[in-house]
Amino acid sequence: MAEQFLTADGVAPLLKEIRHNPLLWLLVLVPVVLLAQLFKPEAHVLLFVLSVGAIVPLAALLSRATESVAAKTGDMIGGLLNATLGNLTELLIALAALRAGQYVLVKSSIAGAIVTNALFMLGASFLVGGLNHHVQEYNRSNARLQAGQLFLATIAMLIPSVVVGADTTFTQTLSMGLSVLLIVTSGLGLVFELKTHRELFTSVDHAESDEVEWPLVLALATLAGVTVLVALVSEVFVESVQQAATALGISPTFVGFIIVALVGGAAEMASALSAARKNRLDLSVGIALGSAVQIALFVAPVLVLLSYLIGPTPMDLQFWRGAVAMMIVATITASLVTNAGRSAWFLGVLLLIVYLIFGMTLYLLPPRI
């Protein structure tokens, strides 16, 4: 079939998508940032801003390509692909930071992604949905499953932080063991969701159907190409972020927790909000909580295990206590709020205000804490 080779014709859906989606026009920043890095390696603030601007459309393309591949490969493998590659942008940024040994950035971006997904993305979806619809109902089985997994992951991340006076060996062995348990849980969760009890989660699976599907070969090529680009731009981002933050007077924690999380999740945010507007809150909740669960149960432990291979030293799962507290509060809040299976705009406000409280605290924190 013609689809087997990527011809000029085959690229047509991609170009059409770019023409119609203004967000993707930002792709022009990708070559700009790579050139700027080459010729102006010391302009940290410029590089930081450009790389942020370049990652957002790349992340959107990446998630679009992943979905297209998933749609072509059937429900099981598709679900598996979405689950592993759904947060590829976050993973690539974190990998760049891991290679550079910036473990504080890695950890705050993990914690921040969980909190941002569970509070900001969910809250914005509820608010946007609620402004367009009086009361919205959604399948709470899925919300409960995700909240339960998220709760388990925050417990796992709590433990190394509360065991006081333990030595490094203990923390590292424990983090290793916890990472294995988290990945196992994540795998069993997929078996539950995609195989043994898929009938409980149907409304979420078949929701993305109003987009034109890409041919498989285009989707795969985009996936591969964009992954390389995200990896390159992430390098620039990670190298510039520290000094840019200092120059702009922002604490590195704020950058990792809030900015990286918002940048990395921009594409999913767009999907979640659009679904909420169309009264498909099932999908919004699935994206927001599902993404938080992926970061917590898959990305974070994979980074811990990879740190033994590519990091300067092994990374553990010991977070600073404030981050742990915020993850726990975010999880409990999301769990309480999704418990009823109904939503109105004020629930979104509550979630967003909790996120604002966290953001404000991190912004005001003196840099050296």
Nearest to a copy of itself of 25, 346 (CB atom): 346
CB of 358 to a copy of itself, least distance (A): 8
Comparing CA positions, the residue from 169, 90, 160 lying closest to residue 317 is 160
Task: Provide, rounded to whole angstroms, the least separation between the CB of residue 202 and a copy of itself.
Answer: 15
DSSP calls for 308-357: HHHSSS---S---HHHHHHHHHHHHHHHHHHTTSEE-HHHHHHHHHHHHH
- Residue 232 CB, shortest distance to a copy of itself, in Å, is 37
| Nearest residue (CB) to a copy of itself, 215 versus 348 | 348
Q: Take residue 262 and report the two structure tokens written for it.
A: 């918002």
Length of the chain: 369
* Cα 274 versus chain centre, distance: 17
Alpha-carbon span 96 to 118, nearest angstrom:
24
Which has the closest alpha carbon to 258: 353, 116, 364?
A: 116
What is the smallest separation between the CB atom of 158 and a copy of itself, expressed in angstroms? Answer: 8
Residue 184 vs 247, nearer CB to a copy of itself: 184
Q: How far apart are CA 156 and CA 110, in angstroms?
A: 14
Positions in the binding site for a copy of itself (CB under 8 A): 134-135, 144-145, 147-149, 151-152, 155-156, 158-159, 162-167, 170, 173-174, 177-178, 181, 184-185, 188-189, 192, 196-197, 321-322, 325, 329, 333, 335-337, 339-340, 344-347, 349-350, 353-354, 356-358, 360-361, 364-366, 369
Instruction: Please say whether the beta carbons of 218 and 13 come within 8 A.
Output: yes
3-state secondary structure of 195: helix
Of 53 and 359, nearer to a copy of itself (C-beta) is 359
Closest CB 192 distance from a copy of itself, rounded Å: 4
Nearer to a copy of itself, 147 or 229 (CB): 147
Tokens of 35: 């050139």
Complex with a copy of itself: residue 48 or 358, whichever CB lies closer = 358
**Quick one: the chain helix, strand, coil %, rounded to 5?**
80, 0, 20
Give the nearer residue to a copy of itself in terms of CB position, either 1 or 164: 164
Closest distance of CB 339 from a copy of itself, Å: 8
3-class DSSP assignment, residue 323: helix
The DSSP bridge partners found for residue 137 are 342
Which of 42, 235, 297, 246 is closest to 254 using CA atoms? 246
Query: Which residue, 222 or 333, has its beta carbon nearer to a copy of itself?
Result: 333
How many other C-beta atoms can be found within 10 angstroms of the C-beta atom of residue 366?
6
Q: How far is the CB of 297 from a copy of itself (least distance, A)?
A: 10
Smallest separation, CB 111 to a copy of itself (Å):
15
Closer Cβ to a copy of itself, 131 or 224, answer by number: 131
Distance CA 342, CA 344 (A): 7
Q: How far is CA 206 from CA 84, 131, 199, 343, in A?
A: 18, 25, 12, 21
Q: How far is the CB of 369 from a copy of itself (least distance, A)?
A: 6
For residue 316, give both structure tokens. 């553990």
Buried b (16+ CB within 10 A) or exposed e, 279-294: ebbbbbbbbbbbbbbb
